[in-house]
Structure 1
Amino acid sequence: MLKIVKNATKYLPNQAIISDGKSYTFQELLHYSEQFASLLLENASDLNETRVAFMVSPGFDYVSVQWGIWRAGGVAVPLCITYPLPSLQYVIEDTDAQIVIAGEEYASILAPLAAEKGFRFILLKNIDSNEINLKKLPNLLSERRAMILYTSGTTNLPKGVVTTHENIEAQISTLVKSWHWSAQDHILCVLPLHHVHGIINVILCALWSGATVEFLPSYSAEGVFSAFQKGEINVFMAVPTIYFKLIAYWESLPIDQQKQISETLSKFRLMVSGSAALPVSVMEKWKNISSHTLLERYGMTEIGMGISNPYNEERKAGYIGKPLSGVKVRLVDENNQVVKRGQAGEIQIKGKNVFLEYWNKPEATQKTFTDDGWFKTGDIAVVEKGYYRILGRDSIDIIKSGGYKISALEIEEILRTHPIINDCSVVGIPNEEWGELVAAVLIVNDNGLDLKELNTWMREKMPAYKTPRQYKIIEELPRNAMGKVTKNDLKKFF
């Protein structure tokens, strides 16, 4: 029996999920997922790692479908509910999914593709639970493939990241221990469910612990604060963009409502930020509103979470923290040699949390691991007083200009402290003389901005070689589903 399922049997009467105005117990989750597993199996005794893609809105149906796929021996392939058909088709075809499941609202998108490709297509609204005969479910080894999630694809076509049940269990159990999860916790899920942040950190950590996951029908800052004000939620995890929007909404409220919300937030046990770098300015504003120092952590599709600010000790603004229990971390130079203390290097990770392979891409898999089995993240960091600080992604955030390696994230942090700049992003643009030039895209408030004055201001804050040579002012930064700025799209402005 899978550990996540075994754990659920300890909490049968507990409230597991709240969605669409209904409450579901762990007993109901186990029952419905068993029914769904039986439906998937038909006449087979085991799906034997058949890929099963599913496009289901966040909520009880999503979780029971995912668990049903696992319990039947299949590999779960969550589809992003906001992707256009070509992106969905890419994932379905790349994984060679033999079964595709859709919620009612996505039937019109996927039904024509099912007719064309001939895969088994299951519409949730057409399932009659009274007609399902429960089957004996397969006994699964933890080494088996469990899930395929797709990378953001910011630099090339997305790759399918394959995790086993053992990988997933390692990712969950590490966070449950490090972040002190318990059956008394109640978390609100506002994250997309085709990424580890929502699936692992929120849903599976909560359900592993016997806690409650609550879903909103649709995201809005007002809806999030309304859910908080009921007084039951005590854990919250989001991306920096969401915190930014919540802060803006809070600031628009009358003072008495602000005080009510702040009082509620101060009673929370834990608040976490991840999936993109957390601006120090956002962290400080949120602390003023909520009395909480957001716990920033570092992870990616291939490893789950690897590094985290501590739960009980100091949480340092601008730092991702220390290696999690059971996760080995090292920093290496371009020759794959471990760097000296205080020097910057690429983060490499080793542990049971690290993924198995890129789906059907043996060369890419081999390329991303060292000969001695370390996963190469491509992220550059430095350790300062025991805490890791991200300088950026080697291919995106490290700008190579005039012989210097410049961190785009460092420049962004300085720019955000300017009173007229609401947000920004820094990129390197190709240049014959310098290799790359530092360029900044800005979102400003209504007060206007003199770029010459800004340039003078920046040179007072940092060395001249780090200051942007070009600026563009735009209305909104392009972002992917997880709130990460898609920097390749920004380069087109220059």
Structure 2
Amino acid sequence: MQNFSVPADRPWVKTYADNGLDINVKVPDGVNSLLDSFEQNFAKHGNKVALTCMGASITYRELDTYSRQIASYLQSLGLVKGDKVAVMMPNILQYPIAMMGIIRAGLTLVNVNPLYTPHELEHQLNDSGAKALFIVENFAHTFEKVKNKGQVKHVIVASIGDMMGLKGILVNLVVRHVKKMVPSWNIPNAVSFKDALTAVSASRYVRPELSLDDIAVLQYTGGTTGVAKGAMLTHKNLVINVEQCMTFVTKVFPADEDLTGKYIATALPLYHIFSFTVSMLGLKMGFSLLLITNARDFDALTKDFAKYRPVFFPAVNTLFNALAHHEGFKNLDHTNLRLSLGGGMSVLPSTAEAWEKLTGTYIVEGYGLSETSPVATINPPGSYTGKIGIPFPNTDIVLLDDDGKEVAMGEAGEIAIKGPQVMAGYYNRPDETEKTMTKDGYFKTGDIGVMDEQGFVKIVDRKKDMILVSGFNVYPNEVEEVITAHAKVLECGVIGVPDEHSGELVKVYVVKKDDSLTEKEVIAWAKENLTGYKRPKYVEFINELPKSNVGKILRKDLRKLEEDKKA
């Protein structure tokens, strides 16, 4: 995979020069895989704090040892280069240890949302062919309920307090017996995370031969079709995306700055590629990652901000907005905060204004997808623009019409991206890969944008039917498949409706098979089979769905029904 050079006539080339930014980056010397990056970080930052969670901390040196121990354990199971290992955990200390252990063993990480239902988990485990699973005990019952466990032969179960020393004993007691957050479960031959950590000496670790073109992560996404599939992210995709981020972040945190004791508030889940890549950026630069396990607990999050006073905060619009209006958070001293990075969904002008007024920092908005590792565009640090920014270094963006031809400057077209951070394709789905890639190597995003004369892009519409709920992709096909599996549902159509808090919410139009079907039954069925953000918040019964001549449900007509109601 070669770096792509941006054509000299692209409008953002001058914008780079005007802002003193380097439009070309490369893989650092001596880095032939993520293993080299990890090892360089451990050697450089040593006894600095790498991770902090619930008051417990781990240094870079300890992270080195623990992740090698996990790598040794996985190798002792007979797993070999390229085998898939899933991780289903929230932001706790065990996630980075497991993630690095998997990659250091030469295996491929499969990120899994810990809030998935058995139905969703089953699909991802079977599709990826995962042979092992790291899971936190709070969600072990979910895996137990999976009917077809596929190739998963090894299950490692973590407790929240595993890596917290004596404090962890108290944490586990509270989680299990006071808050009762751990439903009973029974997984034969499951191994505890602590036992896996100590089962095999780190000295038995065998460093695998890896290249930049090897697959490091399977990041599941609906792509443009809604069928959940794994975007194959190579070692190079992730290494280079961190370097691309560095071009902009070092304008706020110079490369020679000592970042000891300076925190990135990691509230977005690490299984989400935005948070995943920013965390790797943070570890490269020598930040400490403040892992926030439950970002919805605003009181606890506020206490963490008060104690650790983070300098860097990546988040989505909904989180920025919620905190900007939280009484406790508003009373904090935010003078330490230097960079607020917005991604995952559009940052609304009202949110940007409230955040700037409160903290004195602009939200620097970027844009990307799982298929682009994820960042493809960003705004240079400065004022809020309401746009997704200019293309990253070594990244070209073209706007295409329905015939795949470039549109004129100022006209709307589908955003297509080419660069070294673009995925290797969808796992075991060459047909889907072909649908989303042009013949000359551009990834078609399904988003419609307009570019100005300085190269800044603004998203104006979405070509695909994807719904964006608080930065998470929801695909109507998947929701429709689940709802229509209900015995009383004849058929249904799913669309997104605007919401001031989460951007969009899911609405389902249902044609009944049985007249006794109620809204409550539909909601309960969705709750059983879909994770929270995918569940319809609105149910409307309809006698007939609008369809094309060939019987395809016309979601655009359902959206028009919604618009007509507001007229």
1:174 maps onto 2:244 in alignment: yes
Which residue in the other structure is 2:459 paired with?
A: 390
1:212 maps onto 2:288 in alignment: yes
Aligned residues of 1:276 and 1:483 also touching (Cα < 8 A): no
Deviations 1:65-116 (A, max 9, x none): 0000001111100110111111011100000111122222222322454996
Give secondary structure in 2 for the equivalent of 1:59.
coil
- CA change 1:143–1:442 in 2 (3 A) is closer
Aligned residues of 1:37 and 1:137 also touching (Cα < 8 A): no
Aligned residues of 1:239 and 1:482 also touching (Cα < 8 A): no
- CA change 1:337–1:385 in 2 (3 A) is same
Aligned residues of 1:80 and 1:193 also touching (Cα < 8 A): no
Q: 1:365 aligns with which of 425, 429, 433?
A: 433
Which residue in the other structure is 1:350 paired with?
A: 418
Aligned 1:165-314 pairs, distance under 5 A: 165-180=235-250, 181=253, 184=259, 185-201=262-278, 203-219=279-295, 220-250=297-327, 258=330, 260-261=331-332, 264-303=333-372, 304-311=374-381, 313-314=382-383
Report the Cα distance in structure 1 between the residues aligned to 2:96 and 2:133, rounded to whole angstroms.
15
Report the Cα distance in structure 2 between the residues aligned to 1:281 and 1:244, rounded to whole angstroms.
8
Report the Cα distance in structure 2 between the residues aligned to 1:61 and 1:443, rounded to whole angstroms.
35
Report the Cα distance in structure 2 between the residues aligned to 1:158 and 1:51, rounded to whole angstroms.
17
- Count of aligned pairs between the two proteins: 412
- CA change 1:16–1:154 in 2 (3 A) is same
Report the Cα distance in structure 2 between the residues aligned to 1:146 and 1:488, rounded to whole angstroms.
39
Output the amino acid matched with 1:292.
T
Which residue in the other structure is 2:76 paired with?
A: 42
For the aligned residues, what is the CA RMSD? 3.2
Report the Cα distance in structure 1 between the residues aligned to 2:377 and 2:298, rounded to whole angstroms.
29
Report the Cα distance in structure 1 between the residues aligned to 2:239 and 2:121, rounded to whole angstroms.
27
Report the Cα distance in structure 1 between the residues aligned to 2:424 and 2:377, rounded to whole angstroms.
19
Report the Cα distance in structure 2 between the residues aligned to 1:40 and 1:63, rounded to whole angstroms.
15
Q: 1:96 aligns with which of 129, 133, 155?
A: 129
Q: 1:7 aligns with which of 24, 41, 49?
A: 41
Give secondary structure in 1 for the equivalent of 2:444.
strand
Deviations 1:106-127 (A, max 9, x none): 2232245499646222234354
Output the amino acid matched with 1:212.
S
1:25 maps onto 2:59 in alignment: yes
Offset at residue 277 of structure 1 (A): 1.2
- CA change 1:146–1:342 in 2 (3 A) is same
Aligned residues of 2:116 and 2:531 also touching (Cα < 8 A): no
- CA change 1:4–1:302 in 2 (3 A) is same
Q: 2:387 aligns with which of 309, 319, 333?
A: 319
Output the amino acid matched with 1:5.
E
Give secondary structure in 2 for the equivalent of 1:265.
coil
Report the Cα distance in structure 2 between the residues aligned to 1:66 and 1:439, rounded to whole angstroms.
33
Output the amino acid matched with 2:142.
I
Aligned residues of 1:154 and 1:486 also touching (Cα < 8 A): no
Aligned 1:398-409 pairs, distance under 5 A: none
Output the amino acid matched with 1:162.
M
Output the amino acid matched with 2:398.
R
Report the Cα distance in structure 1 between the residues aligned to 2:206 and 2:343, rounded to whole angstroms.
40
- CA change 1:374–1:210 in 2 (3 A) is same
Task: Give aligned-pair identity as a percent.
Answer: 26
Q: 1:157 aligns with which of 201, 218, 227?
A: 227
Which residue in the other structure is 2:442 paired with?
A: 374
Output the amino acid matched with 2:317.
P
Which residue in the other structure is 1:424 paired with?
A: none
Output the amino acid matched with 1:2.
D
Give secondary structure in 1 for the equivalent of 2:241.
helix
Output the amino acid matched with 2:280.
L
Give secondary structure in 2 for the equivalent of 1:266.
coil
Report the Cα distance in structure 1 between the residues aligned to 2:539 and 2:227, rounded to whole angstroms.
15
Report the Cα distance in structure 2 between the residues aligned to 1:229 and 1:270, rounded to whole angstroms.
17
Offset at residue 157 of structure 1 (A): 2.1
TM-score, L = length of structure 2: 0.67
- CA change 1:116–1:207 in 2 (3 A) is closer
Output the amino acid matched with 1:393.
R
What stretches of structure 1 of length at least 5 have no aligned partner?
399-407, 409-426, 428-437, 445-477
Aligned 1:116-155 pairs, distance under 5 A: 117=150, 119-124=153-158, 125=192, 127-128=194-195, 129-133=197-201, 134-152=204-222
Report the Cα distance in structure 2 between the residues aligned to 1:439 and 1:89, rounded to whole angstroms.
26
Which residue in the other structure is 1:62 paired with?
A: 95
Query: Higher relative contact order at CA 8 Å, sep ≥6: structure 1 or structure 2?
Result: 2
Which residue in the other structure is 2:398 paired with?
A: 330
Output the amino acid matched with 1:333.
D
Aligned residues of 2:450 and 2:460 also touching (Cα < 8 A): yes
- CA change 1:362–1:18 in 2 (3 A) is same
Aligned residues of 1:241 and 1:483 also touching (Cα < 8 A): no
Output the amino acid matched with 2:62.
E
* Greater Cα shift, 99-108 or 146-155: 146-155
Offset at residue 309 of structure 1 (A): 0.6
Give secondary structure in 1 for the equivalent of 2:219.
strand
Report the Cα distance in structure 1 between the residues aligned to 2:308 and 2:294, rounded to whole angstroms.
20
Report the Cα distance in structure 1 between the residues aligned to 2:410 and 2:75, rounded to whole angstroms.
54
Give secondary structure in 2 for the equivalent of 1:243.
helix
Aligned residues of 2:121 and 2:146 also touching (Cα < 8 A): no
